[in-house]
Structure 1
């Protein structure tokens, strides 16, 4: 054992003795009072480590007999037992495992009115109806489709530019985790070009490059979940990939992600990236960092990710692109269904690109086979259908927001860096000038809701990576081992308590939207801009639980409760090397159309934004 590890062991041994046994539930004087709306989002307590110190700590905490005591201590030091106090104060509340909101008959009928007229996603995919084309004309997807159609640009030219851009930019920013299959990409482009020559394109996505996160199966590519432990060649496309391939899209290699998706910071040791597109000395955000970076650099107009704890919205915010994590159950996919947190999402160069990518994945569900539809009502009617009713209700939907109510919790919004607060308040003022009304709200026990989310997702990570964790020959990153190890130390009572808190908070937030009349909630996406890369982390990664939790300050509620949220780039932090600033628009489950409407209003008032210096243009 190294001197560093020995010192840590002795120190923590003393701490354990002082800590004493785990405390019992105290209903006379509980550590937290159920229903308390006092704002409190203080950070967690945990060591911040990289390099040799991280390796020593990880070894001690996950590969020695002392490890379980250390990991349990970290949980106790962050008051995990308080969740039991809260759960004990609501003995009749049923735990909520899957965060699914089921509409009543009348509400379903009202929701389905959004499918009428232009709101139907089939008006956008496979082809945008003629009178809607102008509405989405800023989308790079449509610009490429129009250029291919009038022969001013060819899919083969674009494919070659994409390949040369990957070759030039991947060594610096690492958006892709695998080498492109050049022959397959060029064949796909050539087939697309032939279809355009015959004036028979398959869709607006025919010949458009699209990228997918390295945990989504892409036939023929190694899919590793960002790890050197899990190396598998996908034999079939995931349903998400298939939907784009069937429309003629050019499928790019998998995009870089953090190992197992366990950290939102963004760097993974195995692929040695990704890095921020605005400055490679800063983190990109994660875990879907490569997808965000690929879009920010202009290599593709949209990319797809998964989001279990901010994995789409965080990199979208830190890397300066649009990114929606849909509501839980909105997008059908055929992998990673065991998680109660994960939903798919889209990164886009614009809100319009993001909408078009979303439309591909969300339309025309097979309710008899869709996992979420079977959960919702046995696959009888399936989940409420996705539509764009709120956005496409009329021509003034983004300029006149007089029928929109925006929820704001001032203390929550202001709990960010000064630059982030300033830009978010500026954008909120702009929405108010367009007629939006602001309504204040509060969420009770928000600190413990955030802890419940952290414990739930850590426990799900631990289950998914249990085999690798206990494999003596596995070479998981030190931080991955710590995260999985801590998740494995949670008791059944604590998870049950977290799910009771989930049910309690879910009902409260439902009332904010449904009874309180709020359409969307407005917050920053993350409370700070992209941190600088820690030099010692390049070889070992970084364990920084306080930063991880801080990055999830606004995002966690979407995963915990299954709500859709869209990150919107709104400015830059000149005090931090010009890193991007982002605003988050969060809606209630099944109401992505409201999120898109408010985000489109933000985009239309922001104007053109500065692109990264190394960004390319496909058109």
Structure 2
């Protein structure tokens, strides 16, 4: 007797369902939540690019075997440890938005310290001497226009000409509208001529990442298809209100899924230090356009290092702020990991951009969670102490040495040198230990992959052309169960409390230091051209020091720390407590002025202003 198609399908589904249940059936391991042993282990996964990547993507996303393959990969990498630890924390409620409301007394201190921000936004932070080569920054533009040495229109003509040349080599922009840029410049000319510039940013070129809506520009979100923007995101509105010129929209990795930086649809961006190397992602174009000397500031988004990693690989400063510090409006609002931040040529430019982006916040979707009847949303930004860089004796820096040292020797040496400089200026180094980093990192991965799968679910099923690696990432995110995700959110709540009340409070820390990436900037394999790469072992190494900031909503900053034997940049990471960006910026400024010997990249296209 013939079986119907429905019966056959049901039988096959039952078999695969049984396999999946078996793969999910891990015993709950006995775990001591107080164990502070260093437990990170390397990821295990195949590295594929080119034709092999296409085949692997087809197997994992187009065949019945795919979900089994992905489950095996997850099991091989110990994702069941998240459930094991979560099971030991029955009294911990899951946390979805990692936000910390300040008590009234602390909020008042921020309000008092923030009184200097209007003056900084009006006049800048002044000039500073540097050991290395200097980039043309926000204050330089301000002085140029103030002295009458140039007008915004004259400057933007030169910037656009330089971008035209650089774009041929570096492929940084997904959208550039020269006529629109010159219209903005003409408006800035009129304000300067009338003696009424809106701020220190008036006439300064700024770029934003290709997931931030800019009126009149197509937004791709790194993908193959775009949506025409009919509005400005609140981030763009704040910049325009201060007179900044939105120069264009920068290439990002598709959907932000990879920290390596390459986008197959745009065949770029390219690293200005060496075009054979990755740029870091996902805010890759934003990092490159600043590193190449074309503009002083670009805006990125960071859900898993997407500001810090490209800043590290491109040799610039990148600040991923406290979660909810900088409001924005786009589909990623469904993410509980993503936060924004400036990527800048100097610590000073990062500080000014931070003050601009975090000021005048609207009543966004985080407002209700941070409003207690007396304090209106996030505390105002502050930059007090930014110039107090000769004496760091009031700064306490935590170091988890086993974690710090778990990186390439050249990177460790450069980052230790940065620490020693801070110590020579009086900073106190404090030994710390953070429990269960492995479970925390895996919890971050479970949450962000699940959220990404939701955001890209429609495109995944609609026939939209999607990179092979992106398809695998969506399928991986869809593989997690509700049990997995809720367990991860319980780990998040536990980690949030550990970081706030034990690591920072008990040790009286201002920040925690580590490398930004565990490996030197990697080369782009030849097979990745036009296709991309899936290399989770490398991704793990790149992200080894990244997840805590996103999981717990903490501010974190990449500071250039030097260069490796191949001349590629090395990044040093500072991780702060909630709402303490000003402390990170101060130490970054001290390192930049007193320690770092800056080298411009080979592909440097700064206009002659």
Q: Give the structure-2-normalised TM-score.
A: 0.93
Alignment of structure 1 residues 55-134 onto 2, 5 Å: 55-116=54-115, 118=116, 121-125=117-121, 127-128=122-123, 133-134=126-127
Alignment of structure 1 residues 603-614 onto 2, 5 Å: 603-614=592-603
Which consecutive residues of structure 2, in runs of 5 or more, have no partner in the other structure? 1-14
CA distance in structure 2 between the partners assigned to 1:437 and 1:485 by the alignment = 46
Q: Does 1:200 align with 2:231?
A: no
Which consecutive residues of structure 1, in runs of 5 or more, have no partner in the other structure? 1-12
Tell me the equivalent position of 2:584: 595
Q: Is the 8 A contact 2:152 2:188 kept in 1?
A: yes
Query: Structure 1 pair 140/18, CA: closer, same or farther in 2 (3 Å)?
Result: closer
Partner SS for 1:360: helix
Q: 1:140 offset after TM fit, Å?
A: 1.1
CA distance in structure 2 between the partners assigned to 1:463 and 1:509 by the alignment = 29
Q: Does 1:166 align with 2:163?
A: yes
Q: Is the 8 A contact 1:23 1:81 kept in 2?
A: no
Q: Does 1:236 align with 2:231?
A: yes
2:253 aligns with one of 250, 258, 271: 258
Query: Structure 1 pair 134/530, CA: closer, same or farther in 2 (3 Å)?
Result: closer
RMSD, aligned CA: 2.1
Alignment of structure 1 residues 14-25 onto 2, 5 Å: 21-25=23-27
2:140 aligns with one of 129, 143, 148: 143
Q: Does 1:331 align with 2:330?
A: no
Tell me the equivalent position of 2:368: 374
1:306 aligns with one of 301, 306, 314: 301
1:297 aligns with one of 269, 292, 300: 292
CA distance in structure 2 between the partners assigned to 1:21 and 1:594 by the alignment = 46
Tell me the equivalent position of 1:463: 454
CA distance in structure 2 between the partners assigned to 1:513 and 1:488 by the alignment = 35
CA distance in structure 2 between the partners assigned to 1:378 and 1:365 by the alignment = 17
Q: 1:379 offset after TM fit, Å?
A: 7.4
Tell me the equivalent position of 1:531: 522
Alignment of structure 1 residues 360-399 onto 2, 5 Å: 360-366=356-362, 369-377=363-371, 381-392=375-386, 397-399=388-390
Q: 1:44 offset after TM fit, Å?
A: 1.6
Partner SS for 1:156: helix
CA distance in structure 2 between the partners assigned to 1:134 and 1:531 by the alignment = 35
Q: 1:401 offset after TM fit, Å?
A: 0.8
Q: 1:277 offset after TM fit, Å?
A: 1.1
Q: Does 1:521 align with 2:532?
A: no
CA distance in structure 1 between the partners assigned to 2:113 and 2:194 by the alignment = 36
Tell me the equivalent position of 2:178: 182
More divergent stretch after superposition (399-408 vs 159-168): 159-168
CA distance in structure 2 between the partners assigned to 1:61 and 1:386 by the alignment = 47
Tell me the equivalent position of 1:6: none
CA distance in structure 1 between the partners assigned to 2:579 and 2:228 by the alignment = 34
1:285 aligns with one of 275, 280, 285: 280
Q: 1:607 offset after TM fit, Å?
A: 4.9
Query: Structure 1 pair 530/151, CA: closer, same or farther in 2 (3 Å)?
Result: same
CA distance in structure 2 between the partners assigned to 1:514 and 1:607 by the alignment = 30
Partner SS for 2:341: strand
Alignment of structure 1 residues 442-481 onto 2, 5 Å: 442-471=433-462, 473-481=463-471
Q: 1:136 offset after TM fit, Å?
A: 10
Tell me the equivalent position of 1:584: 573
CA distance in structure 2 between the partners assigned to 1:337 and 1:136 by the alignment = 40
CA distance in structure 2 between the partners assigned to 1:201 and 1:17 by the alignment = 66
Q: 1:164 offset after TM fit, Å?
A: 1.3
Q: 1:616 offset after TM fit, Å?
A: 2.8
Partner SS for 1:337: helix
Q: 1:33 offset after TM fit, Å?
A: 3.2
Q: Is the 8 A contact 2:110 2:382 kept in 1?
A: no
CA distance in structure 1 between the partners assigned to 2:85 and 2:408 by the alignment = 31
Query: Structure 1 pair 20/404, CA: closer, same or farther in 2 (3 Å)?
Result: same
CA distance in structure 2 between the partners assigned to 1:39 and 1:435 by the alignment = 28
Aligned length: 587
CA distance in structure 2 between the partners assigned to 1:487 and 1:379 by the alignment = 38
Q: Does 1:503 align with 2:493?
A: yes
Tell me the equivalent position of 1:5: none
More divergent stretch after superposition (340-349 vs 603-612): 603-612
CA distance in structure 2 between the partners assigned to 1:446 and 1:428 by the alignment = 22
CA distance in structure 2 between the partners assigned to 1:91 and 1:225 by the alignment = 39
Tell me the equivalent position of 1:484: 474
Partner SS for 1:220: coil
2:312 aligns with one of 314, 317, 339: 317
Q: 1:614 offset after TM fit, Å?
A: 2.5
Partner SS for 1:540: coil
Q: Is the 8 A contact 1:111 1:384 kept in 2?
A: no
Q: Is the 8 A contact 1:269 1:538 kept in 2?
A: yes
Q: Does 1:156 align with 2:153?
A: yes
Q: Is the 8 A contact 2:513 2:575 kept in 1?
A: yes
